[in-house]
Structure 1
Amino acid sequence: MEADSTDNLSLVELQSFLSGKSVAIIGNASSIFNDRLGAEIDAHEVVIRINHGCIKNPVAQGSKTTIWAGSVALNEHEVQEYFAPIYAMWMTPRRRSLPNYSPDFRRKLFLHPVEFWEVLQKEVGALGDRQARPTTGAMVINLVVKHCKPSRVRLYGFDFFKTKTFYEKRLPKNKPHDFHAEEVWVEELCAAYSCLEIRKHGNRNLEPKTPMHTILSWVLRCMHRLIDTLFRRR
């Protein structure tokens, strides 16, 4: 069911929220577990997480989520349970895949403009496969950097599929994306926008192998949710 755009968070409202703020965009490459950058991530005013990229290891990924950006049909309970964001963004132009969210959830949900996707698809396509679709990560980067005037944007967990997505078992074989073209596009964007930086990750793997990290992640999400609730009541 497609939501009426008038019921959703507007572009102007999103721009007002992000303008002048430091933003961390968290990709889902397994290489994010090679460093202890969680505290650095959480120091940003806004932390954006993507698709199924919930927190497994706060030491590497941070514990804060301000915005969830998705092209996968997580239901409202899943978004709140795994991310507890202040806002959410539906990124894919496939509006028919949009879950039937409640009115309260839709008021904090931004629908990524189809025209932004079309321009991005042409930009990335010009660097490689013209039929390839932009990834959700590329859409988020494009939206924040080009349209929302943040003070700083840092990318974490983006290695353009040199390592697998941490919640998938293997590297994709037939994804409809051109990862090399997106890497070139991001490099060109970094050169054009001084606010944008991509953090490279080392070789040491910190991916958790015990349930304790899952418990810690849940506790930290609950703490952030409580703090956000108290802040909004003030």
Structure 2
Amino acid sequence: MPEGGKNLSALSEAMAGKSIALVGNASSFVETPKTLERHQFVIRMNKGAHIASEKGNLRTDCLLISAFRGKKYLEAAPHVVWMTPKKRDELSVKEIAAMYFYPVPAWEELFAEIGDRPSTGCMGIDLISRRLRGGELWLYGFDFWQSPTTYTGVIRPGPHSPDAEERFARSRVPSSQIVGLDTSSR
């Protein structure tokens, strides 16, 4: 972790014992504020908080980011977590002081487990499931690249493995809590 980053224990305390919605960026999921309001803590990823605000749903308690930087992202949520081990050396002192950091050893374990570079969503599932402490994790907008992302309009798994990430998600989150995932063809 870069010097000066926030201690993850504060994020753990904020999530402890709560019903948590982790909102992915799959366009197959059409979110409504009512759907997420039943959860006590809403976590979005990358441009997800800004897409939500464009749709009128402003609720974002935590934002997980891997490539997007700047004031806009630091102000998008009370808690902001830099997920990828990449580009940490490019962050400013102000950015480092304002964020939590997903631990590099956890990233290395996850990489070894799934056999590919984990996506922000996969890292988010890992981060949250390790810190639930009596809470529950629900996934929305995760279809593992079966539909385009909300902010690119493209299906592009990139360096990630959709099948391995889906298996990992199902190992950490009950299928009944992966909302909107069509399991009939799986």
Q: TM-score band, normalised by the shorter chain?
A: 0.7 to 0.9
Partner of residue 159, structure 2: 176
Q: 2:138 aligns with which of 154, 178, 183?
A: 154
Q: How many Å apart are 1:150 and its aligned residue? A: 4.8
Where does residue 24 of structure 2 map in the other structure? 27
Does the 8 Å CA contact 1:42/1:63 hold for their aligned counterparts?
Answer: no
Alignment of 1:184-199 (within 5 A): 184-191=167-174, 197-199=177-179
Larger radius of gyration: 1
Corresponding residue SS for 1:166: coil
Q: Name the counterpart of 1:90.
A: 82
Match of 2:125 among 141, 165, 169: 141
1:109 aligns with 2:93: no
2:68 paired with 1:41: no
Of 51, 66, 76 in structure 1, the residue corresponding to residue 61 of structure 2 is 66
Q: Distance in 2 between matches of 1:155 and 1:98?
A: 31
C-alpha distance after superposition, 1:85-119 (max 9, x if no partner): 111000001143653152xx544411110000011
Structure 1 stretches lacking a partner, 5+ long: 126-131, 203-234
Is this contact kept in 2: 1:75–1:101, CA < 8 A? no
Partner of 1:213: none
User: Deviation at 1:201?
Assistant: 5.6
Q: Is 1:99 paired with 2:83? A: no
The amino acid that maps onto 1:22 is S
Look up the SS of the partner of 1:31 in the other structure.
coil
Shift of 1:65: 0.5
Q: Which has the higher helix share?
A: 1
Give the TM-score normalised by structure 1. Answer: 0.69
Cα distance change on mapping 1:97 and 1:171 into 2, 3 Å: farther
8 Å contact kept, 2:137–2:173: no
Structure 2: 5+ residue stretches without partners: none
The Cα shift of 1:184 comes to: 1.4
1:57 matches 2:49? no
Match of 2:149, SS state, is: coil
Distance in 1 separating the partners of 2:78 and 2:134: 17
Alignment: residue pair count: 179
Determine which of 107, 115, 121 is the counterpart of 2:111: 121
Determine what percentage of the aligned residue pairs are the same residue: 30
Matching residue's letter, 1:147: R
Q: Secondary structure at the match of 1:47?
A: strand
Query: Kindly tell me: are residues 78 and 15 of structure 1, through their superposed partners in 2, closer, same or farther at Cα, counting changes over 3 Å?
Result: closer
Instruction: Specify the SS of the correspondent of 1:48.
Output: strand
CA distance in 2, matches of 1:22, 1:108: 25
CA distance in 2, matches of 1:101, 1:23: 30
Across the aligned residues of Structure 1 and Structure 2, the Cα RMSD in angstroms comes to 2.3
SS in 2 for 1:68: strand
